[in-house]
A and B are shown apart, each in its own frame.
Chain A
Amino acid sequence: MSDVREFLKGNEALAYGALRTGLNAYFAYPITPSSEIPETLATEFARSTFPDFRTFLQAASELEAINMVIGAAATGAKAMTATSGPGFSLKQEGLSYAAGMELPLLVVDVNRAGPGLGNLGPEQTDYFQATRGGGHGGYPTLVLAPSSVPEMASFPALGFDLAFAYRTPVILLADAFLGQLKEDLVFPDVPSPSYDVAWAATGARGEARHVLSSLHLELADQSRHSRHLLDKRTRIAQREQRAEEVGTEDAEIVFVAYGICARLARRAVRILRSRSIRAGLLRPITLAPFPERRVRQLIEQGRRKFLVVELNAGQMVDDVRLAAGGAANVELLGEMGGLLPSSLDLVRAAEAMAR
């Protein structure tokens, strides 16, 4: 394969990105606005274009799909599924078990609007469910937030790298806008990585057998395992905080935004700078671990005003405030219901805050 230029929807790009990084198994349950992901993968599976892609299967429910991912991942395969909010709620059971068993796998959430069925517009209301570990029992999650179609394509590779490096589920949190947005992109010709899967359950040979279980009936055993998971969370938090920055070095006001909102903020930064307001953008790429270190460093460097833009009633803003620890003015511009603020809304809010 050589570098390939394409013009794709975010969901399609994500599917091809996963295939190009050697996806072995995809287990599907259709839900708008993520359905182009299974549709693209079903088409490519039928064409047998990607030799590593051994399995595409439409499951009978979101629960079946995530548990099939668990089974495939337990053998060391690169396995994933995608969904949207209502389905993401159902995935939480499986994510808790997968985290407890330390299974590397990928779950994509193309966030739609509202609690319950809501609507098919974009929101970022699944932030808490994704970053806090939405299932029971307390466990680390690793959450990546793409902000463009090229990142929809490249983040499955990053996601699998992190999932296998730490043996933990990775969540790719996109939104309805990114899923449907079309952009052009280049798929680089890079070989798909292979990972150390010596831990996998593929039959006990010799003395060693592998029991992948989240059951620890002895209290001391569970305590040890929970501490092990906590240590992993700490290690991930130390090493894997990622963010992109625009103009933060001299900014009097810093937008904090991810996903589709980061694109609005990028434009707002340009407009504000043309009006002689020094604006900047901190775009978290990892939502968990949240790039709190950069927030603290920016404050140490004199940044005092942060305007968080997100498609919810205020979720990531909590993480920014926690990182700021009261040492900066952190305000929220939230929009809900599937609507987006305009870049000019961002400009006006920033101007009001800058005064």
Chain B
Amino acid sequence: MTAAAELYEPKLGALPTLTGTPTHYCAGCEHGTLTRLIAKAIDELGVRERTVMVSSVGCSVLAHEYLNVDAVQAPHGRAPAVMAGIKRVRPDLLTFAVQGDGDAVSIGLLELLNAANRGEPITVFLVNNAIYGMTGGQMAPTTPSGMVTTTTPAGRDPVTTGPPIDATRLVAAFESPAYVKRVFLPILPTPSPRVFNARGALEGAKAVRHAFEVQQRGGFAFVEFVSTCSVNWKLGILEAKRYAAEVLRPLFPPGLYRDRFAVEGR
């Protein structure tokens, strides 16, 4: 075990569905949080041995290095189609993808929306951090108007580039999806300097588990995690959390947008 892994393990504890490989995610990034929430849900449900994750393209491209499950790589944006192919021949398997906003909402919007409309029994976790992280901070489909990115140096102009796309409401516009939820994932500072509000992670843990349960019952499940990217936003970690709360949360309101099987009611 590397020194970094030793640091990681005692703090967070080993899970059978975590490989223990230290993640490459930047400090403060919610991708790492979500990775752990997924591993926890898979272990709780006892489905690791019949799970096949689909790796997308973006910061989540290496998620299969951290999650101890079988994995298949999808081309950029095509993860929902690859998952549909898996489930159509092997409905007994559980499949999911962690997609970024560029992957799911820009280059892969056709794949996402058509899978949603067919009600494919798959699970899409969208990490919306409003920017292309892996490629170094370019405008994403979810970038708020006015945000400076490397391809919108004067701030995103909605007149020429359109306003940010609300993926959750797009998915919820179809009748077929069984579970559509948006979670605000970042932990938030509180007035007390050593105390943080981690409600997002708790909500996220439930949403991940619900999304898998919905898939097991044959439904399409979509959870958007509003997240931060302090490095590419050029903000400190806590500044980025505050920015997300002030700008992204009103733009992408958290909430339950569809729950056909009433998994949250029980």
A202 in contact (CB, < 8 A): yes
What size tier do the contact residues of chain A reach? 35 or more
Min CB–CB distance A22 → chain B (angstroms) = 13
B24's nearest neighbour on chain A, judged by CB, is A217
Min CB–CB distance B87 → chain A (angstroms) = 8
A77 in contact (CB, < 8 A): yes
A60's nearest neighbour on chain B, judged by CB, is B114
What size tier do the contact residues of chain B reach? 20 to 34
Contacts of A74 in B (CB 8 A): 52, 72, 82, 85-86
Task: Name the interface residues of B70-98: CB closer than 8 Å to any CB of A.
Answer: 70-75, 78, 81-90, 93
Bound Cα distance A69, B74 (Å): 11
Other-chain residue from A55, A57, A101, A203 in contact with B73 (beta carbon distance below 8 A) = A101
B86–A211 CB distance below 8 A: no
A97 in contact (CB, < 8 A): yes
A214 in contact (CB, < 8 A): yes
Task: Name the interface residues of B34-57: CB closer than 8 Å to any CB of A.
Answer: 48-52, 54-55
B61's nearest neighbour on chain A, judged by CB, is A215
Contacts of A24 in B (CB 8 A): 89
Task: Name the interface residues of A35-79: CB closer than 8 Å to any CB of B.
Answer: 54-55, 57, 59-61, 63-65, 67-75, 77, 79
B110–A60 CB distance below 8 A: yes
Min CB–CB distance B135 → chain A (angstroms) = 15
A93 in contact (CB, < 8 A): yes
Bound Cα distance A79, B84 (Å): 13
Interface of B is mostly: helix
Contacts of B68 in A (CB 8 A): 204, 209
Bound Cα distance A218, B232 (Å): 24
Considering residues B54, B88, B110, which has the most beta carbons from chain A within 10 angstroms of its beta carbon? B88
Other-chain residue from A63, A93, A201 in contact with B52 (beta carbon distance below 8 A) = A201
Contacts of B74 in A (CB 8 A): 67, 70, 97
B85–A71 CB distance below 8 A: yes
Interface on A for B, CB 8 Å cutoff?
A: 24-25, 27, 54-55, 57, 59-61, 63-65, 67-75, 77, 79, 93-94, 97, 100-101, 201-205, 209-215, 217
* 8 A–B contacts from the bound complex (CB under 8 Å): A64-B84, A64-B110, A70-B81, A70-B85, A75-B89, A201-B52, A202-B70, A203-B51
